[in-house]
Amino acid sequence: MEIAWKGVMPAVTTKFTKQDTLDLEMFGVNIRAQLDAGVHGIILGGTLGEASTLTDDEKNTLIQTTVDLVQGKVPVIINIAEQTTKGAIEAAHTAEKYGANGLMMLPPMRYKANDHETVTYFKAVAAETAMPIMVYNNPIDYGIEVKLNMFETLLEHKNIQAVKESTRDISNITRIRNRFGDRLKILSGVDTLALESLLLGADGWVAGLVCAFPEETVAIYELAHAGRIAEALEIYRWFLPLLELDISPQLVQNIKLAEVATGIGTEQVRAPRLPLQGAERQRVLQIIEAGLKTRPVLPNYKALQPC
């Protein structure tokens, strides 16, 4: 399957039971809600998916389950966050074996690779798979920046096609577009900069709070894409206090609380993560409750045509 690398792509959470096993029933509820809202892809095994706590078998089960649920309607993309080049190549092969359509790739984990090592890492994986790749560029959280000169070399591989832009430097979108045109698709990776990114020319949004609010998230994208900026902005302004729950070390717990509130998730996380407690829990619940009380009435965004 070719991937257009546009629109809203949820970085979905992994659902667990109280017995700390995969909750595939509730996972299915959430994936169906995403599809009903009109998302353009599903991303598995990212930070929100608690990937570092999942076994290989659990990751494979999630891929297979998602492929069965989406029935080819949207691409299924698996995140790769490995410590070794060999491990990343193996993860790519496994993802393809179990039905994934594309990869979202972080630079090497733990070791702070230099520019040459980082480029060599991405190129080694790209050479070993035909699947399309989106590079996850998040120097703030992961300590390695993929610079424009590095992308110049990476784009020698036709299957390196997109970047999840999470540098927090909003002008980087313009730099990428000026340098590479449409050769490198750009997806915003920061919820609180999403509409700004779309208006500056980003092709899509790898979203977090979409896990709890899929319709509102897709509506913002479709309205912006159709040139109805004022309507997109009105929803985005309502959404911002909720979107800020994504920029926190406890983003998984925050977003899972929001999923409970909207009926498409559970609060279960996998240790060492624990559910929020005390004053912080009450603070997050107040933000969610305020958002629900003022939840906007959405236009028929699915019928919109791009401007």
Cα–chain center distance at 69: 18
What fold characterizes domain 7-303? TIM Barrel (3.20.20)
Convert the pLDDT of each residue in 259-269 to its tens digit: 999 999 999 99
Residues found in the chain: 307
Confidence of residue 215 (pLDDT cuts 50, 70, 90): very high
> Predicted confidence band at 141 (pLDDT cuts at 50, 70, 90)?
confident
Please state at what angle helix 85-97 crosses helix 56-70, rounded to 10 degrees. 40
Query: C-alpha dihedral over 269, 168, 137, 115, to 10 degrees?
Result: -130
3-state secondary structure of 274: coil
User: How far lies 7's CA from each of 1, 4, 74, 300, 306, in Å?
Assistant: 16, 9, 11, 17, 12
Q: Give the mean model confidence (pLDDT) for residues 102-107.
A: 97
Say what percent of the chain tops pLDDT 90. Answer: 96
Q: What is the pTM of this model?
A: 0.96
Q: In one letter, which amino acid is 124?
A: A
Q: To the nearest 10°, report the CA torsion of 28, 29, 34, 36.
A: 110
Q: What gap in Å lies between CA 64 and CA 87, rounded to an integer?
A: 20
pLDDT digits (tens, 9 = 90+) for 62-71: 999 999 999 9
Structure letter (DSSP) for residue 192: G
